Amino acid sequence: MPFSAPTNWQRDLIQNIQENSVVELYGKLTADFVGGGKLSYQLPQVSRRQAAIHVKEIHNKGLRFNYLLNALCLDNLEWTISGQRRLYSLLDWLAKIKVDSVTVSIPYLLEIIKRHYPQFKVCISTLASVNSAQRAKYWEELGADRITLLNVDVNRDFFLLKQIRNSVSCELQIIANVNCLYKCPFYLYHANLASHGSQSLHSTNGFVIDYCRLSCRYKQLKNPIDFIRSTWIRPEDIRYYEDLGIEWFKLIDRGMTTETILTIVEAYMNRDYNGNLLDLFPDHTKNIMFQRFNLRHKIRYFLRPFMVNIFKLYNNRRVLTNVGVYIDNKMLDGFIVRFLKNSCSLMSCEECGYCESIAKRVVKINTHLQAQGLDRYRKYLDDIISGSMFRYF
């Protein structure tokens, strides 16, 4: 079973990755014309020269490389002469450094890549929101070689997964270690926010306040059932998706430290993990740029006194600390079986009650840290929603 794993552009990741199941690494520049699904400030700084060397080392390891072009919006710059020039310049560079595949979310990008760069395999991003057999069929007819399904909708809907699998012949991929809210209301807005937050020509130049992530984490901490009805797949449960004919599993994310990425890869390759399930999910405490004290990085992305109240922004920095949640992965053995025969889309969570009963049993929370975390999230969100984050007086 092939895995697609993230690269953080660190050489020690390539040196230590286990290539017997990891078939490809994926990533992108910190910012480029197209943008992608992760904010620039969450990523290590990497130049084109460094990226080219990294891709060559990946190939020397016997692995493939997938470059992400998965923004949802290009600010309509793709319909201008200068935008076209920049787009093709980026694609020409990808061809020069011999990337094996690219990931897109925009149908137009798929079509021009298939026409002008036939050497690339094209994967469809989860940001394209493929959550039905018909939508998967549309993408396949446009030329998609692999489709990443919308995790917040389909990861635990085995009836839907079977329908999609039977409707297309292209490869299907699922993101395994994602802890987004089930049917997340922020999903499309968050994807668009990240797209613009990683585009080299956008007017905000990489500055973003991640309201979506803050709201998501606040909801989970306030209502621990959301930790359980999130859309993750345990390493032990990969086999159920293999049985349906899912060919690829994608692991996230590319902003994490090498140690964290290797831990996640090992767990899913071994299909076993003893410890806190949350260890396998990305969060700010594992981010490579937040673990390093990088003053230059902080100044570049956050010192924007004419865009935001930098004093309030600084005072809210502690929201990114550990909130003391522990979910014993082994206590979730057998958890997935109920979803094999029952569809969440056919009943409300209140009517079902399954995830709530599991949460009461397996989610352990340090109540002191929980109270502190909730207070910090509330304060940060109130500063954003009230507008005080964007004024000084």
In this prediction, residue 285 carries a pLDDT of 80
Q: Is residue 106 situated within a structural domain?
A: yes
173/111 Cα distance (integer angstroms): 20
In this prediction, residue 190 carries a pLDDT of 96
In this prediction, residue 133 carries a pLDDT of 97
Read off the pLDDT band of 320 (50, 70, 90): confident
Read off the pLDDT band of 381 (50, 70, 90): very high
In this prediction, residue 291 carries a pLDDT of 65
Q: Averaged over 166-178, what is the pLDDT?
A: 97
In this prediction, residue 286 carries a pLDDT of 83
Q: Averaged over 271-293, what is the pLDDT?
A: 86
Residue of 131 and 300 predicted with greater confidence? 131
Question: Is pLDDT above 90 for 289?
Answer: no
In this prediction, residue 132 carries a pLDDT of 97
Tokens (6 digits) for 12: 């020690």
Q: Is residue 335 situated within a structural domain?
A: no
H-helix or E-strand spanning residue 25: strand 22-27
Residues facing residue 4 across a β-bridge:
24, 250
Distances (CA, A) of 116 to 77, 104, 239, 306, 354: 19, 15, 38, 42, 50
Crossing angle of helices 133-142 and 158-167, rounded to 10°: 30
Q: Is residue 295 situated within a structural domain?
A: yes
Token pair 């909801």 in the structure block, residue:
219
In this prediction, residue 292 carries a pLDDT of 63
What does pLDDT average to over the chain? 94
Q: Would you give the DSSP letter of residue 112? A: H
CB 241 within 8 A of CB 166: no
Q: Averaged over 381-393, what is the pLDDT?
A: 96
Read off the pLDDT band of 330 (50, 70, 90): very high
Structural domain count, the chain? 1
295/288 Cα distance (integer angstroms): 14
* Least confident stretch, 178-192, 193-207, 216-230, 291-305: 291-305
Tokens (6 digits) for 380: 């940060």
CB 148 within 8 A of CB 178: no
Residues facing residue 171 across a β-bridge:
146
In this prediction, residue 25 carries a pLDDT of 97
pTM of the model: 0.95
Q: Is residue 33 situated within a structural domain?
A: yes
CB 21 within 8 A of CB 269: yes
- Residue 232 φ/ψ region, left for φ over 0, alpha for ψ in the -120 to 50 degree band, beta for the rest: beta
* Least confident stretch, 10-19, 88-97, 305-314: 10-19
CATH code for the domain in which residue 231 is found: 3.20.20.70
Question: Is pLDDT above 80 for 125?
Answer: yes
Grouping H, G, I as helix, E, B as strand and the rest as coil, residue 146 is: strand
- Residue 293 φ/ψ region, left for φ over 0, alpha for ψ in the -120 to 50 degree band, beta for the rest: beta
Determine the structural domain holding residue 109 and report its residue range. Answer: 3-302
Read off the pLDDT band of 213 (50, 70, 90): very high
Token pair 């905000």 in the structure block, residue:
204
Q: Averaged over 127-142, what is the pLDDT?
A: 97
Q: Is residue 62 situated within a structural domain?
A: yes
pLDDT in tens, 222-254: 999 999 999 999 999 999 999 999 999 999 999
* Least confident stretch, 71-80, 280-289, 374-383: 280-289
Question: Is pLDDT above 70 for 293?
Answer: no
230/151 Cα distance (integer angstroms): 10
Read off the pLDDT band of 16 (50, 70, 90): very high
Q: Is residue 347 situated within a structural domain?
A: no
Q: Is residue 218 situated within a structural domain?
A: yes
Q: Could you tell me what percent of the chain has a pLDDT over 90?
A: 87
Q: Is residue 339 situated within a structural domain?
A: no
Read off the pLDDT band of 180 (50, 70, 90): very high
Q: Would you give the DSSP letter of residue 346? A: G
